[in-house]
Amino acid sequence: MFPANTTLRTLALAVLRSYSLVFFSQHRGFAALLLLLSFANPGAGAAGLAATGLAVGAGWLMGFNREVLATGGYGFNALLVGLALGTFYEPGWAFGLVLLVGALFALLLTVALGGWLGHKGLPPLSLPFLGVIWLLTPAAEQFHALALNERGIYWLNEMYAVGGAPLLHVIHWLNGWHLPLMPDTYLRALSSVFFQDSPLVGLLMAAGLLWHSRIAFSLSVVAFLGAYAFGMATGVYQDGINHYNLGANYIMAAVAVGGVFVIPSAASYLWALLSVPITAVLVAGLTALLARLGLPAFSLPFCLVSQLFLYVLLLRQHGHWLPLTPIQRYSPERNLYAYTNDRERLQSQLYVHLSLPFLGEWQVTQGYDGLPTHQGEWAQALDFMIRDADGRTYRGSGANLADYYCYNKPVLAPADGVVVVVVSHIDDNPVGQVNTRQNWGNTVVLEHQPGLFSKVSHLRPHSTSLQPGDRVRRGDLLGTCGNSGRSAEPHVHFQVQATPYIGSRTLAYPLAYYLSGAAVRSFQVPAEGETVQNLPLSPLLHQAFDLPPGFRLDVLDANDAAAPAQRWEVFTDAYNKTYLYCHHSGAVAYFERTAAAFNFTAYYGPESAWLYLFYRAAYRVLLSYQPQAELLDAFPLTLVRNPALKWAQDAVAPFVRFIRPTFALRYHGADDAYHPRRLQLSSRAELRYFGRVRPLQQADLELAAGTLAGFSVLLPDQSSPLRFVCRSVA
């Protein structure tokens, strides 16, 4: 994701994350716990660690994708291979050779299947592990130097040799647990994911899973209860409960389809429950079929169910129900909070940015579903006129077209596009008369992208020189306002449509940024009666928050002249997402910069980093000087650090949210009201819950000479603010 400090550190983290990635996690604490728990069976734990290290090291040397490698994506299948081999076979030279082959084979299959399935939007999951084990199991019968593991017979003797009588007492105490059947089965099912059958290991795994994600933990419980009930109802457990099938298949499938690849919600929990009976059928059917070949089913039902449920969602034409995770953050909570937050504030990623098709202030005289003409298939359209302070649309008697304020005013392109239709020969109507034979009058239709067109109508005759095929930029002149077509007085008709034809049905579509009176609107549709204008952009703000890849900024502590400067630099990742990287702390702050706004989208790193303070201070900045307006926004819930409050919200987050971290920004201190060269921005971050408001920080940002000159931050527990000076580096 960002430049690694050292190769060794990157490889070590990749090995560690391979453990947590088995549970779709990047939580280092959970990963360390799983690593330790794998050594509950020392031979299997050592084999799993060795196989993971071999796969990660080979993946680095072979030059495979470093970002995938850093997440553990090339190591977790090798880990499962190592755990399985270490569980079934005795250590020795032959075992070492088989382990080496298995680890490298798992790596190659992971890369190959990842590339093939990745084009279909599907993950390889543990299919590479299955492929390796299915080939090694019959092959191992030919390796006479490879002995099956019989340590279980002499296990207590070995433990006595290691720790004597005290260790045996501990082991007998642990094995002497008498838990009720349901929790005992659940814990053993969890432990079986790492090829163990221990309620103690399962208990620690459950604690680690809860530590990592409250949503994933609850899904594991829901899936277990559903699978247990289904098994009892169908009589599938008459021959005994298979803990491995419950853990590696039912539980993992529900977590995958209910909270990892799908945004968690009440619907996703139902989706996870639906996976239970389908998993049951696959477990029963595949176990019987593969037994004829002498092969175990292992996690195959989990893989097939997860990929089936994900693939059918990818084939939908409408994805409002059960939205897929757009960017995998390896935590159901982070996926949910980022999705809900970005859906509200980063709609710029969802829409083509359309501006109002005129200059100055105009009023919406007929809005969506307005009377008399915006009805039926043409309901999502807007009519605009200019009114004076008295509410009149004309001067004098209004008998002549030239009396109307909007007549002959320029009509502009709302966005970049290609001209597809031009009509310019229709005469204007006298005031009060309409032309119903040529209903739309003089018209220009633009194509902005396939399936998205805009249309302006009722233009003045011969006011455009455009021809079909011409390219236009946002703000280019399309024509002037007239009174042609079904128009009793001059106005501009504007609509968005999915086809290029005059008379096409309208399409509901928001405008990107505009002013409604003194209020800033973003990605909304103006209502009838609103007076609106395009958002005037500030060159100072536009330049100060222009952070292209390669831009570097030195940040100094104004309160401590001896403190070294921290270098911030802009990079672009493999997904063309832009971020600020702090070379001092390793912190990363992702951002999006459009023509009208600057938005931070995600932060990774320590909260003590200066970059984190700046992330909260400049979370969203509108690139327009609006001294009368207060810009409001919401932080993701990952900003909450109170453990009890955060865990309580996490537990119910798919169903209800009662915490709201908020952001507010104001503009002031301009040296010139119209063309400021110096400007101050003040922001505050607050946490709102149960009617309470808790301040998180207050900040001021100083802009001068087209750049960020400095910023200061006041935290709740401090009496004086932290002050920083910023200097751009050539």
**Distance of alpha carbon 538 from alpha carbon 714, whole angstroms:** 27
For 663, list phi and psi in degrees, rounded to 5: -135, 140
Summarised one tens digit per residue, pLDDT across range 231-265 is: 888 876 655 566 666 778 899 999 999 999 999 99
pLDDT digits (tens, 9 = 90+) for 545-585: 999 999 999 999 998 888 899 999 999 987 788 999 999 99
pLDDT tops 60 at residue 3? no
Supply the DSSP symbol for 394.
Answer: B
- Contacting residues for 604 by C-beta, under 8 A, at least 6 apart: 1, 587, 588, 589
pLDDT band at 520, cuts 50/70/90? Answer: confident
CATH (residue range 179-320): 1.10.3430.10
Mean pLDDT of 96-111: 94
Place 644 in a pLDDT band, splitting at 50, 70 and 90. confident
Lowest mean pLDDT among 49-58, 384-393, 613-622, 666-675: 666-675
Q: Region 297-307: what's the mean pLDDT? A: 93
The pLDDT tens digits of the residues spanning 602-639 come to 898 888 999 999 999 999 999 999 888 888 888 888 77
For the ranges 96-100, 167-171, 630-634, the one whose mean pLDDT is highest: 96-100
Task: Name the token pair of 224.
Answer: 């277990």
pLDDT band for position 2 (cuts 50, 70, 90): very low
How many Cα atoms occupy the beta-carbon half-sphere of 523 within 13 Å? Answer: 13
Closest CA to 339 of 424, 261, 226, 431: 261
User: What element of type H or E holds 647?
Assistant: helix 643-652
**How would residue 155 be classed by pLDDT, with cut points 50, 70 and 90?**
very low
Report the C-alpha gap between 182 and 291 in whole angstroms: 28
The average pLDDT across 457-470 equals 95
Ranges of each domain in the chain:
1-145, 179-320, 362-534, 539-729
Question: How much is the CA Rg of the chain, to the nearest whole Å?
Answer: 32
- Quick check: 156 pLDDT over 60? no
Which residues lie below 8 Å from residue 87, measured CB to CB, with a gap of 6+? 41, 43, 44, 149, 195
Orientation angle between helical segments 214-234 and 266-291, nearest 10 degrees: 50
User: What does each C-alpha distance from 564 to 437, 701, 720 come to in angstroms?
Assistant: 75, 21, 21
The pLDDT value given to residue 387:
95
pLDDT at 274 exceeding the cut of 60:
yes
Domain 179-320 identical in fold to domain 362-534: no
The pLDDT confidence band at residue 422, using thresholds 50, 70 and 90, is very high
H/E element, 617: helix 610-617
pLDDT tens sequence across 340-350? 877 766 677 77
CATH number listed for the domain at residues 1-145: 1.10.3430.10
Q: Is the pLDDT of residue 6 over 70?
A: no
For residue 660, report the phi and psi dihedrals to the nearest 5 degrees. -140, 105
pLDDT band at residue 690 using 50, 70 and 90 as cut-offs: confident
Q: Which residues contact 557 (CB under 8 A, 6 or more apart)?
A: 563, 722, 723, 724
Residues belonging to the chain: 730
pLDDT of residue 634: 86
Residue 339 predicted with pLDDT over 90: no
Arithmetic mean of pLDDT over the chain: 88
Give the integer Cα–Cα distance in Å for 441 and 566. 61
pLDDT computed for residue 136 by the predictor: 87
Residue 711 carries which side chain, given as an amino acid letter?
A: F
Mean pLDDT (whole number) for 360-377 = 92
- Top-confidence residue, 638 or 115: 115
pLDDT above 80 for 398: yes
Please give the Cα distance from 492 to 386 (Å, whole number): 10
Residue 697 burial (CB count, 10 A): 19
- pLDDT, tens only, 523-532: 899 999 999 9
**What gap in Å lies between CA 284 and CA 279, rounded to an integer?**
9
Q: How many CB atoms lie within 10 A of CB 518?
A: 9
Whole-number pLDDT of residue 176: 57
Fold of 362-534: Glucose Permease (Domain IIA) (2.70.70)
